[in-house]
């Protein structure tokens, strides 16, 4: 499909561009050529977005996951949108504070998400308006808000606008209604969520959150990396039901071939695997959907075979989670860490635990 649609379109674009360069064309012919070019570019965009959505739906799309400095991708995207905003004297104010945050995702796709949201924030804004970007950390995620001072969206349209080809009735500016549906699908694929809050006549606030990690402020990551790679072979079990967080952990431990990381997607699976083998360390998330991380912990504390295995528990940083953690800490010598994970601190704990006799 992709080939069949793109090849003729690229042909049209290519020949129209050749015509555009022909100086013998009169002004009316030039105008027609511009119309062909605009139409073809618009169609190519649409085709690309439709193909992307089709690929996500059939599970064909492959994301190139990597640890990415979220702040840099936001800066780049803002720069790309600024000329468009400038035309209508719309100010883009970037108040995000993301120096130490990394997300584990595909940078090209992340840029696509940001560009779509920023494009909307400008397109549906008023002249001389503003677009404000802010960030906040929330559990294991980092949440980005893109707030405009535009026309607003009625509450009963909050869900509809994420459907393919849907445009709010009476929307005057050009568009195909594909942007937000692609954005939503991509974010879900990345293990994140997206939403909107809006006030008619005042503006809209689109936000999305993605799993994140935090850099150690001491800047001593390299030191830990060296020391960790010198610890002998260790077997680590990670019980976690978020695929993206699992991938993230794999990425974090990638520099250490001496660590064998095995994962379990459910608490129950985790419990089965634990009793099958000897482990040097167990990592467990408190937010498991089947039996819950705390239950897993309780089982392990109560069983003589597993009581001694070191464990790091990850929690989402809520108050109730903190209370639970204190209870657990009293029971045994288990460690716990809040998400977003501070990688440097995590390495330090790994070193402490794995070098204990
Ligand atoms: N920031 C916003 N403020 C007000 N309305 C918005 C905003 N963003 C989106 N909308 C509404 O939601 C609809 C869908 O947005 P979406 O980005 O999917 O498509 P589009 O902007 O119309 O076209 P394109 O595919 O070029 O992005 C828009 O047509 C518009 O009615
Ligand atoms: Mg759009």
pLDDT tens figures, 264-283: 988 888 888 998 889 999 99
In terms of domains, do 174 and 243 share one? no
Specify the residue with its C-alpha closest to ligand 1, atom 7: 120
pLDDT of residue 105: 86
217 lines ligand 1 (CB under 6 A): no
In terms of domains, do 203 and 113 share one? yes
The dihedrals phi and psi of 264, each to the nearest 5 degrees, come to -130, 135
**43-47, 120-124, 194-198, 319-323: which range is least confident on average?**
319-323
How many whole angstroms separate alpha carbon 98 and alpha carbon 10? 39
How far, in Å, from the CA of 63 to the mean position of ligand 1?
Answer: 25
Return the ligand 1 atom nearest residue 175 CA.
23
Mean pLDDT of the 225-241 span: 89
pLDDT of residue 293: 73
pLDDT of residue 6: 81
For residue 59, give both structure tokens: 């599970």
203 lines ligand 1 (CB under 6 A): no
The per-residue pLDDT of the chain, averaged, comes to: 87
Model confidence over 131-190: pLDDT tens digits?
Answer: 999 999 887 789 999 999 999 999 999 999 999 999 999 888 988 899 999 999 999 988
Residue 219 has pLDDT above 80, yes or no: no
Residue 1 has pLDDT above 80, yes or no: no
Domain that holds residue 312: 221-354
Of 214, 238, 273, the last residue of a domain is 214
In terms of domains, do 152 and 46 share one? no
Whether cis (ω within 30° of 0) applies to the bond prior to 167 is no
Model confidence over 296-340: pLDDT tens digits?
Answer: 888 888 888 888 888 888 876 565 666 666 666 665 557 777 777
How many whole angstroms separate alpha carbon 123 and alpha carbon 78? 14
Residue 207 has pLDDT above 90, yes or no: yes
Question: 211: how many CB neighbours lie within 10 A of its CB?
Answer: 23
Return the ligand 1 atom nearest residue 152 CA.
4
**70-79, 203-212, 244-253: which range is least confident on average?**
244-253
Mean pLDDT of the 62-78 span: 88
148 lines ligand 1 (CB under 6 A): yes
In terms of domains, do 81 and 207 share one? yes
In terms of domains, do 82 and 182 share one? yes
The dihedrals phi and psi of 165, each to the nearest 5 degrees, come to 70, 0
In terms of domains, do 171 and 304 share one? no
* Count of the separate structural domains present in the chain: 3
Residue 57 has pLDDT above 60, yes or no: yes
Return the ligand 1 atom nearest residue 166 CA.
14
pLDDT of residue 281: 93
How many whole angstroms separate alpha carbon 241 and alpha carbon 288? 6
Q: Which residue has the higher pLDDT, 246 or 159?
A: 159
How far, in Å, from the CA of 88 to the mean position of ligand 2?
Answer: 17
179 lines ligand 1 (CB under 6 A): yes
How many whole angstroms separate alpha carbon 229 and alpha carbon 347? 11
**48-57, 125-134, 170-179: which range is least confident on average?**
48-57
Indicate the helix (H) or strand (E) that contains 350. Answer: helix 343-354
Return the ligand 1 atom nearest residue 206 CA.
1
207 lines ligand 1 (CB under 6 A): no
168 lines ligand 1 (CB under 6 A): yes
In terms of domains, do 259 and 116 share one? no
189 by Cβ neighbours in 10 Å (0-12 / 13-18 / 19+) ranks as: middle
pLDDT of residue 296: 82
In terms of domains, do 89 and 57 share one? no
**pLDDT over 90 percentage in the chain:** 43
In terms of domains, do 106 and 166 share one? yes
CA atoms within 13 A on the CB side of 219: 1
SS3 percent helix, strand, coil of the chain, rounded to 5, is 45, 20, 30
In terms of domains, do 201 and 76 share one? yes
How many whole angstroms separate alpha carbon 94 and alpha carbon 111? 15
How many whole angstroms separate alpha carbon 93 and alpha carbon 194? 21
pLDDT of residue 320: 65
**Residues near 149 by Cβ (< 8 Å), separated by ≥ 6?**
125, 126, 129, 130, 131, 202, 203
The dihedrals phi and psi of 285, each to the nearest 5 degrees, come to -95, 145
In terms of domains, do 120 and 154 share one? yes
How far, in Å, from the CA of 120 to the mean position of ligand 1?
Answer: 6
How far, in Å, from the CA of 36 to the mean position of ligand 1?
Answer: 24
171 lines ligand 1 (CB under 6 A): yes
In terms of domains, do 99 and 115 share one? yes
Model confidence over 249-260: pLDDT tens digits?
Answer: 888 898 899 999
pLDDT of residue 313: 85
Of 214, 235, 256, the last residue of a domain is 214
Return the ligand 1 atom nearest residue 148 CA.
1
């Amino acid at each position: 499909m992709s080939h069949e649609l793109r090849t003729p379109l690229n042909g049209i674009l290519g020949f129209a561009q050749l015509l555009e360069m022909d100086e013998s064309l009169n002004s009316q012919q030039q105008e027609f050529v511009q119309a062909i070019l605009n139409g073809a570019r618009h169609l190519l965009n649409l085709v690309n977005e439709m193909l992307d959505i089709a690929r996500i739906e059939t599970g064909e799309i492959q994301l190139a996951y990597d640890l990415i400095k979220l702040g840099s991708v936001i800066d780049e995207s803002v720069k790309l949108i600024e000329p468009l905003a400038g035309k209508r004297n719309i100010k883009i104010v970037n108040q995000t504070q993301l120096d130490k945050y990394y997300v584990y995702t595909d940078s090209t796709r992340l840029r696509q998400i940001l560009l779509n949201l920023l494009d909307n924030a400008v397109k549906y804004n008023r002249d001389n308006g503003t677009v404000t970007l802010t960030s906040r950390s929330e559990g294991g995620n980092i949440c980005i808000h893109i707030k405009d001072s535009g026309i607003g969206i009625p509450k009963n349209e909050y869900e509809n606008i994420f459907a393919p080809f849907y445009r709010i009735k009476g929307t005057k500016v050009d568009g195909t209604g594909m942007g937000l549906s692609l954005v939503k699908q991509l974010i879900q694929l990345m293990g994140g969520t997206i939403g909107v809050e809006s006030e008619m006549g005042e503006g809209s606030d689109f936000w999305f959150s993605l799993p994140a990690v935090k850099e150690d402020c001491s800047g001593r990551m390299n030191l830990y990396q060296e020391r960790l790679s010198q610890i002998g072979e260790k077997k680590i079990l990670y019980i976690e039901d978020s695929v993206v967080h699992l991938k993230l952990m794999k990425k974090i431990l990638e520099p250490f071939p001496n660590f064998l990381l095995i994962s379990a997607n459910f608490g129950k699976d985790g419990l089965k695997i634990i009793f099958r083998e000897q482990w040097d360390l167990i990592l467990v998330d408190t937010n498991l959907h089947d039996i819950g991380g705390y239950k897993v912990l309780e089982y392990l504390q109560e069983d003589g075979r597993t009581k001694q295995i070191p464990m790091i528990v990850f929690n989402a940083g809520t108050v109730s989670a903190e209370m639970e953690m204190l209870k657990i800490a009293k029971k045994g010598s288990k460690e716990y860490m809040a998400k977003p994970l501070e990688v440097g601190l995590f390495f330090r704990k790994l070193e402490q635990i794995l070098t204990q006799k």
